[in-house]
């Protein structure tokens, strides 16, 4: 059940009506039914594993919390009779139990994630392994991180677990976000799902406006450019380096329109029920560095990797010992940067593995991690160079240069991300620097990639609208601005947007609907 299907629109309308019609005490059950039916609509066989994940999440979180409580109670009741050493032994005993529960939870869920993602690829390379007809659960990469974050927060005493297994299941598979995120934290999402609420007209309209903008990105921009990207990446040896660069830039825009469009639809659909999900994008193509880009792109994934991988690894005993080792030998640079580099390497390696089963995804993660490390290392030297050359780093011209440079580096990364293997990615990147011929831009080659002139013009105009909207959102939310206008102006804008989607959107008879790119993860 794709977000772009009429089936989904009817499904969403039915459950919005049901949600506000049923008694408030069971509203959360309506949301659970909607989530179960939505996931079953994607494939009945796929729902088994997500249900098992929800059950293990509920059981693990509550067992860990119970262990915490029993430890606290025991120490409190026997604080006078226990020596310091005895208390330490008891604490270690309880902690070992919690670690065992957490390890079992991680093995089941992360193990399942790795089996679904990597088993078939491994079986192709190792003849001794039997080939299995595994169907990867949709959104497994997203909801697995979400439940891991929740259980880790319970383990670290940052949150209290949900006692109801069914409510835990709702948190695990809340249907607007289950396909491709955003990845939410338990403390922010769960209370909203279980809250009793009345129909709110403002939330409803703002949610519809958010969905409308998402449909514009997906149907008018992303799905229109699919044919260009597919043609160029499938026949890359036939094109020069500049043509490959243009195609890669188009893919970068398509990926953004596709992913952020899907997130907009998810956030808007959730808002119809009064549930606010976290933002996942913040005008990423206006970033002036790769590190800033990743603070603006897929923000919830970045937040998870930072809080549950980077910080724990950085503060771990081995890296602390390594930092002290260098510090004792008065190697300040090594003491400061080498532990940080190791943490970043692990973070970006995990990011690459998370994205997919091919080696190109690992290279994609390490590429961005490497650029961030280089930026950290050479930033002081770059500042000195700019001072010597009398370059004003606060000028608009320099900021435009930084934005263009970052977009170019991101585009190279997207070639690695989109190519089916590393040799093809390397060939395409090499061509960009060895057969660079910008004159092909004027010979009409872009119209040989599957779109005629009117279609291509529509795509360009739509991208300009996307750019203008991004600039506008720097100062205020466009949908809130539209909502504050007088009724005739508001309706005129909304009808114009609907007409643009209906007239210029890519769909209809003979159209093979393109699934969201991040649907595969």
Q: Are residues 491 and 376 in the same domain?
A: no
- 437 within a domain of the structure (yes/no): yes
| Residue 65: other Cβ atoms inside 10 A | 19
Q: Are residues 400 and 329 in the same domain?
A: yes
Angle at 329 between CA 325 and CA 334, to 5 degrees: 65
Whether the Cβ atoms of residue 63 and residue 101 lie closer than 8 Å to each other: yes
- The DSSP-derived string for 152-215 is HHHHTTSSPPPS-HHHHHHHHH-TTTTTT-----HHHHHHHHH------HHHHHHHHHHHHHHH
Q: Are residues 75 and 185 in the same domain?
A: yes
| Residue 35: other Cβ atoms inside 10 A | 23
- 93 within a domain of the structure (yes/no): yes
- 405 within a domain of the structure (yes/no): yes
388-442: pLDDT as tens digits: 888 888 888 899 999 999 999 999 999 999 998 999 999 999 988 887 666 666 6
Q: Are residues 406 and 304 in the same domain?
A: yes
Q: Is 330 left (phi over 0), alpha (psi -120 to 50) or beta?
A: left
Q: Are residues 193 and 206 in the same domain?
A: no
402, 418, 434 - which closes a domain: 418
Q: Are residues 169 and 226 in the same domain?
A: no
264-303: pLDDT as tens digits: 999 999 999 999 999 999 999 999 999 999 999 999 999 9
Residue 184 dihedral angles phi and psi, to the nearest 5°: -100, 160
Q: Is 358 in a helix, a strand, or coil? A: coil
Residue 516 is classified by DSSP as P
- The DSSP-derived string for 389-410 is TT--TTSHHHHHHHHHHHHHHH
pTM of the full structure: 0.91
| Residue 295: other Cβ atoms inside 10 A | 15
Residue 133 is classified by DSSP as -
In residues, how long is the chain?
Answer: 521
418, 451, 470 - which closes a domain: 418
List of residues 6+ apart from 67 with CB closer than 8 A: 94, 97, 98, 101
Q: Are residues 433 and 520 in the same domain?
A: yes
162-197: pLDDT as tens digits: 999 999 999 999 999 998 889 999 999 999 999 999
Q: Are residues 105 and 18 in the same domain?
A: yes
Q: Are residues 237 and 295 in the same domain?
A: no
- 377 within a domain of the structure (yes/no): yes
- 109 within a domain of the structure (yes/no): yes
Residue 29 structural domain: 6-198
The pLDDT score that the predictor gives to residue 386 is 87
Q: Report the percentage of the chain scoring pLDDT > 70.
A: 94
- 1 within a domain of the structure (yes/no): no
392, 418, 444 - which closes a domain: 418
293-312: pLDDT as tens digits: 999 999 999 999 999 999 99
Reply yes or no: is the peptide bond before residue 107 cis, omega within 30 of 0.
no
Q: Are residues 193 and 204 in the same domain?
A: no
| Residue 84: other Cβ atoms inside 10 A | 7
- 338 within a domain of the structure (yes/no): yes
Domain count, the chain: 3
Q: Are residues 179 and 227 in the same domain?
A: no
Q: Are residues 224 and 156 in the same domain?
A: no
């Amino acid at each position: 059940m794709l977000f772009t299907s009429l089936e989904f629109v009817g499904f969403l309308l039915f459950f919005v009506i049901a949600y506000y019609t049923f008694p408030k005490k069971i509203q959360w059950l309506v949301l659970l039914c909607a989530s179960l039916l939505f996931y079953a609509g994607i494939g009945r066989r796929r729902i088994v594993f997500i249900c098992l994940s929800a059950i293990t999440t509920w059981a693990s979180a509550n067992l860990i919390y119970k262990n915490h409580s029993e430890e606290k109670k025991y120490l409190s009741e026997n604080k006078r009779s226990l020596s310091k050493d005895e208390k330490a032994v008891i604490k270690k005993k309880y902690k070992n139990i919690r670690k065992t529960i957490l390890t079992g939870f991680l093995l089941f869920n992360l193990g399942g994630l790795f089996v679904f993602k990597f088993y078939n690829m491994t079986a192709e390379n190792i003849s001794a392994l039997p080939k299995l007809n595994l169907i990867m659960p949709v959104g497994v990469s997203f909801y697995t991180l979400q439940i891991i974050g929740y259980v880790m927060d319970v383990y670290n005493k940052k949150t209290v677990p949900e006692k109801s297994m069914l409510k835990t299941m709702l948190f695990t598979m809340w249907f607007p976000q289950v396909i491709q995120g955003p990845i939410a934290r338990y403390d922010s999402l769960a209370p909203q799902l279980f809250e009793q609420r009345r129909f709110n007209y403002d939330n409803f309209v703002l949610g519809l406006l958010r969905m409308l903008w998402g449909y514009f990105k997906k149907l008018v921009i992303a799905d229109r450019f699919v044919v260009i990207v597919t043609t160029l990446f499938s026949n890359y040896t036939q094109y020069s380096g500049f043509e490959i660069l243009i195609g890669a830039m188009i893919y970068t825009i398509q990926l953004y329109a596709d992913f952020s469009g899907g997130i907009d639809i998810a956030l808007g659909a959730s808002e119809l029920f009064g549930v606010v999900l976290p933002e996942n994008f913040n005008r990423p193509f206006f970033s002036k560095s790769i590190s800033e880009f990743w603070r603006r792109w897929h923000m919830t994934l970045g937040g998870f990797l930072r809080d549950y991988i980077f910080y724990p690894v950085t503060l771990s005993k081995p890296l602390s010992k390594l930092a002290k080792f260098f510090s004792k030998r008065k190697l300040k640079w090594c003491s400061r940067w080498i532990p940080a580099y190791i943490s970043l390497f692990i973070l970006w390696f995990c990011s690459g593995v998370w994205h997919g089963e091919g080696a190109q995804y690992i290279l994609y993660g390490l590429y961005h991690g490497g650029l961030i490390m280089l930026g950290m290392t050479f930033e002081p030297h770059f500042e000195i160079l700019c001072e010597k050359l009398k370059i004003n780093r606060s000028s608009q011209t320099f900021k435009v240069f930084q934005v263009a440079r970052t977009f170019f580096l991101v585009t190279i990364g997207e070639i690695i991300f989109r190519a089916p293997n590393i040799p093809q990615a390397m060939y395409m990147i090499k061509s960009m620097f060895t057969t660079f011929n910008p004159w092909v831009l004027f010979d009409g080659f872009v119209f040989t990639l599957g779109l005629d002139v009117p279609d291509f013009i529509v795509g360009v105009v739509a991208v300009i609208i996307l750019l203008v909207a991004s600039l506008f959102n720097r100062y205020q939310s466009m949908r809130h601005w539209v909502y504050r206008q007088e009724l005739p102006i508001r309706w005129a804008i909304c009808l114009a947007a609907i007409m643009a989607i209906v007239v210029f959107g890519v769909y209809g008879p003979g159209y093979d609907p393109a699934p969201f790119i991040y649907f595969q993860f």
